Structure 1
Amino acid sequence: MAPQIDAVILAGGMARRMGGNDKGLVDLNGQAMICHTINKLSTQVDQILINANRNQAQYEQWGYTVFSDQDSGYLGPLAGMVTALKQTQADYLLVVPCDCPMLPTDLTARLLAALEQQQADLAVASDGEYEQPVVLLLKPHLAASMQAFLDAGERKIDFWYRQHKVAVESFADQPNAFVNINTPEQKQQLATQIAK
């Protein structure tokens, strides 16, 4: 039987470089940015969760479970991840940011294959050159380790996952898959690219 895989889309940040605009709700070619991410994930996972620390009613319009970080204070992506890990009943949790609208359509399958083949605790995506620390597949039992890391005042995802057995899956065959949007200028560049 195939494992159950849930996904959490991280939309809980402050988006300072976007002028404070909620990145998941920013329009990209006629759709909220998070819609592009949802469209890429909807056929890859069993359930989608959305981590948002503001504008929750707007995120709820897409019909998915929306939750805020259990720890207040905008503690970064790990805070959203640990909250999602504690909520899911799935065998695995896929984590992606809301500002990567060109995610691979085979993201989940390839991360799962890498994790299983290497008997790892988690699998992180790479663009062939750099690891993408907020694009990963992990086992829910890692919630305790992640919570302890946060409780110790740590925030860097890659420091946390180095404590575990990590598989790295290269998506060098899809070089633009992890292009993300942090500024209005990047948004405009990507909008032009998607429209082509």
Structure 2
Amino acid sequence: MISALILAGGQGRRMGGVDKGLVELDGRPLVAWVRAGLAAQGVAYDRVYVSANRHGDLYRAWGDVVLPDLWPGQPGPLAGMHAGLSACTTALLLVVPCDVPRLPPDLASRLVTALEDSGAAAAYASSGGRAHPAFCLLSTSLLPALDACLSRGQRRVFDWLRSVAAVEVEFAASCFVNLNTPEDVAAWSARAAH
């Protein structure tokens, strides 16, 4: 059994400073789209966590547990992963960001298979030659390594994943469409309407 973590703890600078996970897309907040995408994975999660540093009361509708960063100063997605690994009671934690309304339906299964086949402690998604490190599966055994990384002031998810010899799993190029700006949200809605 695995657990899942939705990263929604960012400052949403490119979204105008709003809480990105709560931005509405076609009548539903982005976090609701992601939670639906997790449900479509066909995985029985022990718990679904939401990493959120504000509006925790609202995020409880989409997560079993809402986790604020344990590190001060909102140092980014690695801090959310750290909070998730600290709380996780299963051996594996599937991590996804809150701004991708359509997850690949085989994301979890392919990342689990990659870990089993490689013996690695982490796997991450890529597509079209581009890494998507916020889509990853982490062994909870990585918590000390992540703690050390944050203690050194490192903030880049991909650099940390490389340091722990994470394996890369290639997906179709269209699988990971991040909605980072109000224009991205409007464009997605316009495409969906046609």
TM-score (norm 2): 0.94
Distance 2:62 2:114 in 1: 31
Equivalent residue for 2:175, pick from 169, 174, 177: 177
In the TM superposition, what are the counterparts of 1:51-70 in structure 2 within 5 Å?
Answer: 51-62=51-62, 64-70=64-70
1:113-139: CA deviation from partner (whole Å, max 9, x where unpaired): 111111111110011320101000010
Shift of 1:152: 0.8
Q: Secondary structure at the match of 1:116?
A: helix
* Amino acid paired to 2:156: K
* Amino acid paired to 2:7: L
Gaps in structure 2 of 5+ consecutive residues: none
Residues 57 and 193 of structure 1, relative CA distance in 2, 3 Å threshold: same
CA contact (8 A) 2:50 2:63 kept: no
* Amino acid paired to 2:9: G
Distance 2:60 2:28 in 1: 15
Distance 1:71 1:139 in 2: 20
Shift of 1:45: 4.4
Matched, 1:49 2:49: yes
Share of identical aligned residues, percent?
41
* Amino acid paired to 1:183: T
Gaps in structure 1 of 5+ consecutive residues: none
Residues 146 and 63 of structure 1, relative CA distance in 2, 3 Å threshold: closer
Quote the RMSD (CA, aligned, Å).
1.2
Q: Secondary structure at the match of 1:141?
A: helix
TM-score (norm 1): 0.93
Distance 2:53 2:124 in 1: 24
* Aligned residue-pair number: 191
In the TM superposition, what are the counterparts of 1:84-163 in structure 2 within 5 Å?
Answer: 84-163=84-163
1:78-125: CA deviation from partner (whole Å, max 9, x where unpaired): 001011101011121011100011111110001111111111111100
* Amino acid paired to 1:64: D
Distance 1:192 1:45 in 2: 34
Tell me what 1:40 maps to: 37
Residues 195 and 35 of structure 1, relative CA distance in 2, 3 Å threshold: farther
